[in-house]
Amino acid sequence: MNTLKELTKAVAEYIDTLEFPEEPACLYEPMRYSLEGGGKRLRPLLTVAACNIFSDNPQCALPTAAAVEVFHNFTLQHDDIMDNADVRRGKPSVYKKWGSNTALLSGDAMMIFSYHLLQQTATEYLPAVFGCFNHMALTVCEGQQLDMDFEERDSVSIEEYMTMIDKKTAALLAGSTIIGAIQGGADNQNLRRLFVFATELGLAFQLQDDLLDSYGTEAQLGKRIGGDILEGKKTFLTITALGQADERTRKELTALLRNGEIEAQEKIAKVLAIYNSLGVKEKTEEEIDIHFSKAIASLSSLTVAPERIEPILELARSLMNRNR
């Protein structure tokens, strides 16, 4: 069994040494640029950490872990096109640096390259890994479409929002985890319990991102604070506030979120004042704790020696320890 530190080092070394063709440069250079952008590399870590629970050779899952990371960066690259986003992880996005056409095509190539990596899966596990990956990929696309649909709607319920982040965020964490566990030789019962763990962890992770966007720091979030407020996005905080507010406050908050003329810091301050008056921060923290507790309970129910889950448990706790 490997420690989390050892797994982190192995994932970084494998992904950092992925080889892409040199030509055409405008196709492959953006792919390298995207993968060199840093980030938590949470998803590939979940893959090898899940394999590590059941196998003493988690390195066998490194190609699929890399496939998950390449796929994740493909989704981010296309997200930036759809959102007209100029910055990704503190530097110009591929969309900003090369334009939408190159960002689109190199993103497509990343998706295809992820399948090239998946082909390196051991033959006995290949059908199950491919099936899991395909289901995960399609579910993420469904979540992205729901997210875009919400932009055109006046109101979204908490239930609808949770369904969206389940598909867009949690499904990717769950798929990454299950792909690794399959290669470790996990049985169906443990696969089901790991699926619950990773899904609940993904929900808690996204809700924490929502919270940090309004109440965190740029160092914690990796991007400017208040971006969701400035864009008028429907997040857990916004939807909760609109559901808790009286009619006057609801109208005030709706008008603020739609106001593109107000100075940025003033807009953020006024929206946060409404959130604070309604206890939105505390309600979000409670929801995060509920989902994280469910995740840990499901992880702890695995039929393995307790020490086998320590690395992935350490990883999960580190995600929830971003000083919220």
Residue carrying structure tokens 């049985």: 187
Count of C-beta atoms within a 10 Å radius of residue 155: 11
Q: What is the pLDDT of residues 116-131, one digit of tens each?
A: 999 999 999 999 999 9
324 assigned to some structural domain: no
For position 260, what pLDDT does the model report? 83
The pTM (predicted TM-score) of the whole model is 0.94
| Angle, CA 39 vertex, CA 33 and CA 42 arms, to 5° | 125
Q: What is the pLDDT of residues 260-308, one digit of tens each?
A: 889 999 999 999 999 999 999 999 999 999 999 999 999 999 999 999 9
Domain count, the chain: 1
Up-side HSE of residue 198: CA atoms within 13 Å toward CB?
Answer: 30
Decide if pLDDT at 77 tops 80: yes
103 assigned to some structural domain: yes
71 assigned to some structural domain: yes
142 assigned to some structural domain: yes
Number of separate helices (H) and strands (E) present in the chain: 17, 2
Residue type, 162: M
186 assigned to some structural domain: yes
Asked if residue 44 lies in contact with residue 65, where contact means CB atoms within 8 angstroms, the answer is yes
CATH classification of the domain holding 297: 1.10.600.10
DSSP-derived 3-state class of residue 124:
helix
Q: What is the pLDDT of residues 9-57, one digit of tens each?
A: 999 999 999 999 999 999 999 999 999 866 789 999 999 999 999 999 9
Q: Which domain holds residue 92?
A: 4-319
What's the gap between Cα 275 and its chain centre?
25
Give the mean pLDDT of 208-234. 84
Asked if residue 61 lies in contact with residue 180, where contact means CB atoms within 8 angstroms, the answer is yes
Mark out the alpha helices in 36-157 (DSSP H runs).
42-54, 62-83, 94-98, 100-118, 126-151
Tokens of 97: 């640096």
Give the mean pLDDT of 136-163. 95
